[in-house]
Amino acid sequence: MKKATVSLATIAIILFVHQAIAQAGVIASAFPEKENVVSGQEIVVPVSIDMSGTSELLGSFTGNLTWDPSILKYEEHSSLNDFGFSTPMVNNQHVGQGKLLFAAANPRGASGKVKILNVKFRVIGKAGSKIVMDLHFSAMAAARTFKDLLPVLTLKTADKNHAILVKKGKTGGK
């Protein structure tokens, strides 16, 4: 009976650890590279998807980034040559309203931290303004298995709880 108890305990621990690793999932982030910003300054916001917490490979995604256009003015975006996601389709028709849409697919898939794109803004808000961003994905699937990754997706952004404050001061260049 003692051997059975040890075996059941071992199985329970293995299942717990396996579930914890599986729940680590996918982390998508969009956070400005600089936390100390002043009005007039350019900031870059890298958008990335970290697949390190799953055994799946990133196959495709459709998402959007939103912000307050009275605080940030969209200037441009640049695609990154990273893991086969070198040129996502980007719709910038609504940047005046603070919304950038993007999508890409890679049938081979990608693991690790996949950089999707960099978005460049000019800070136009006054000192005391808070830079808040929202990253949203309407679709995200694994390569090969086509598993829906949205249920295991965690988003990390400069949201209302992690806003960046525009400070008083001189621009200091780009």
Separation of alpha carbons 125 and 77, rounded Å: 20
Contact between 153 and 138 under an 8 Å Cβ cutoff? The reply is no
Instruction: Look at residue 102 and give its three-state secondary structure.
Output: strand
49-108 confidence digits (pLDDT tens): 999 999 999 999 999 999 999 999 999 999 876 667 777 899 999 999 999 999 999 989
Residues with Cβ < 8 Å from 90, sequence gap 6 or more?
A: 77, 79, 100, 101, 102, 117
Q: Kindly report the backbone phi and psi dihedral angles of residue 162, in degrees, each rounded to the nearest multiple of 5, phi listed first.
A: -130, 35
- CA 87 to chain centroid: 16
- For the chain, give every domain's residue range: 25-167
122-151 confidence digits (pLDDT tens): 999 999 999 999 999 999 999 999 999 999
Under CATH, what is the fold of the domain 25-167? Immunoglobulin-like (2.60.40)
User: Above 70 in pLDDT, residue 110?
Assistant: yes
pLDDT at 21: 41
Question: What is the chain's alpha carbon radius of gyration, rounded to the nearest angstrom?
Answer: 20
Handedness of CA 115, 24, 138, 42 (dihedral sign): negative
